[in-house]
């Protein structure tokens, strides 16, 4: 992404993350808390063809028109994020040796290969989560075979009673599939290549996190 500030980025003595004052870090946190969700909401609206969108931030509703440029900004930010991977090993190594990481946010926020290397070296004692990238995870995803992992399907938190309902639902879906009977609409996510049932109510076509190029490289 081109720098439009007019400054020479190589000679501006930018403050590195570790040397930033706490006041600046807190300010950047506020920017992230307010700005990042609006970028994501705008991108989703753009992908869905909606002319306006709204989102709740800190208990207040923010509404605005959909801007193509903001969607491009989010893509540029993601592109820049994806080239930071060479620093991930260094960042992990700054953690106390033997630490654990639990990630139930998004799989893409962690470099999968850096996590695997840290587990193999003992820098991390364990990694657990219910989020993968890409998702669903392909058969050769490194998190399936790395040591000391506690990975699960994306359950978003669950209770014992909910797990019993999951099991009953899966059984019903399989029985319908093998008997050639229609699957109930609440259990449908995708049908004949298109969103269907509950999936059509809950999702929109496309992706808010990109990554389809990477997913295409995995074995089916």
pLDDT in tens, 116-149: 999 998 999 999 998 888 877 888 899 999 999 9
Assign 56 a pLDDT band (cuts: 50, 70, 90).
confident
Average pLDDT taken over every residue of the chain: 80
60: enclosing H helix or E strand = strand 60-65
Q: Please name every residue paired with 63 in a beta bridge, in sequence order, or none if there are none.
A: 54
Assign 184 a pLDDT band (cuts: 50, 70, 90).
very high
Token pair for residue 82? 């994806």
Token pair for residue 214? 């990477």
Q: Are residues 40 and 63 in the same domain?
A: yes
Given a cut of 80, is residue 14 above it in pLDDT?
no
Given a cut of 80, is residue 188 above it in pLDDT?
yes
State the average pLDDT over residues 35-53: 88
Last residue of a domain, one of 49, 82, 115: 82
Given a cut of 60, is residue 92 above it in pLDDT?
yes
Does pTM surpass 0.85? no
State the average pLDDT over residues 141-161: 86
| Residue 200: partners with Cβ closer than 8 Å, 6 or more residues away | 194
Give the model's pLDDT for residue 1.
46
Question: Counting beta carbons within 10 angstroms of the beta carbon of residue 12, is it exposed (0 to 12), middle (13 to 18) or buried (19 or more)?
Answer: exposed
For residue 129, tell me if it sits in a domain: yes
Assign 28 a pLDDT band (cuts: 50, 70, 90).
confident
Given a cut of 50, is residue 220 above it in pLDDT?
no
Question: Counting beta carbons within 10 angstroms of the beta carbon of residue 159, is it exposed (0 to 12), middle (13 to 18) or buried (19 or more)?
Answer: exposed
Q: How far apart are CA 108 and CA 82, in angstroms?
A: 9
Q: What percent of the chain has pLDDT over 70?
A: 78
For residue 220, tell me if it sits in a domain: no
For residue 188, tell me if it sits in a domain: yes
Give the model's pLDDT for residue 124.
92
Q: Are residues 145 and 186 in the same domain?
A: no
For residue 6, tell me if it sits in a domain: no
For residue 115, tell me if it sits in a domain: yes
For residue 171, tell me if it sits in a domain: yes
Characterize 189-212 residue by residue with b for buried, 16 or more Cβ atoms within 10 angstroms of its Cβ, and e for exposed.
eeeeeebebeebeeeeeeeeebee
For residue 12, tell me if it sits in a domain: no
Q: Are residues 23 and 74 in the same domain?
A: yes
Give the model's pLDDT for residue 207.
54
Token pair for residue 61? 């509703």
Last residue of a domain, one of 82, 107, 138: 82
State the average pLDDT over residues 99-123: 89
Q: How far apart are CA 66 and CA 79, in angstroms?
A: 21
Q: How many domains does the chain have?
A: 3
CATH number for the domain spanning 116: value is: 3.40.50.720
Please, are residues 95 and 65 in contact by the beta-carbon 8 Å criterion? no
Given a cut of 60, is residue 215 above it in pLDDT?
no
What residue numbers bound the domain in which 178 lies? 160-208
Assign 8 a pLDDT band (cuts: 50, 70, 90).
low
Give the model's pLDDT for residue 139.
84
Q: Please name every residue paired with 103 in a beta bridge, in sequence order, or none if there are none.
A: 129
For residue 69, tell me if it sits in a domain: yes
Last residue of a domain, one of 41, 56, 82: 82
Assign 156 a pLDDT band (cuts: 50, 70, 90).
low
């Amino acid at each position: 992404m081109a720098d439009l500030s007019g400054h020479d980025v190589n000679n501006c003595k930018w403050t590195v993350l570790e040397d930033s004052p706490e006041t600046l870090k807190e300010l950047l946190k506020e920017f992230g808390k307010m700005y990042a969700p609006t970028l994501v909401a705008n991108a989703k609206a753009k992908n869905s063809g909606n002319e306006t969108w709204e989102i709740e931030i800190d208990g207040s509703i923010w509404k605005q028109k959909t801007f193509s440029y903001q969607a491009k900004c989010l893509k540029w930010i993601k592109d820049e994020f994806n080239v930071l991977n060479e620093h991930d090993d260094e960042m992990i190594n700054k953690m106390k040796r033997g630490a654990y990481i639990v990630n139930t946010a998004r799989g893409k926020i962690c470099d999968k290969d850096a996590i695997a290397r840290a587990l193999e070296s003992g820098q991390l004692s364990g990694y657990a989560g219910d989020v993968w990238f890409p998702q669903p995870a392909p058969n050769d995803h490194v998190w399936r075979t790395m040591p000391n992992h506690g990975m699960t399907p994306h359950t978003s938190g669950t209770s014992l009673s909910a797990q019993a309902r999951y099991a009953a639902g899966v059984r019903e879906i399989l029985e319908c599939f093998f008997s050639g009977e229609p699957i109930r609409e609440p259990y449908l996510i995708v049908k004949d290549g298109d969103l269907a049932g509950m999936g059509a109510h809950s999702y929109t076509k496309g992706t808010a996190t990109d990554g389809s190029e990477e997913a295409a490289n995995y074995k089916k």
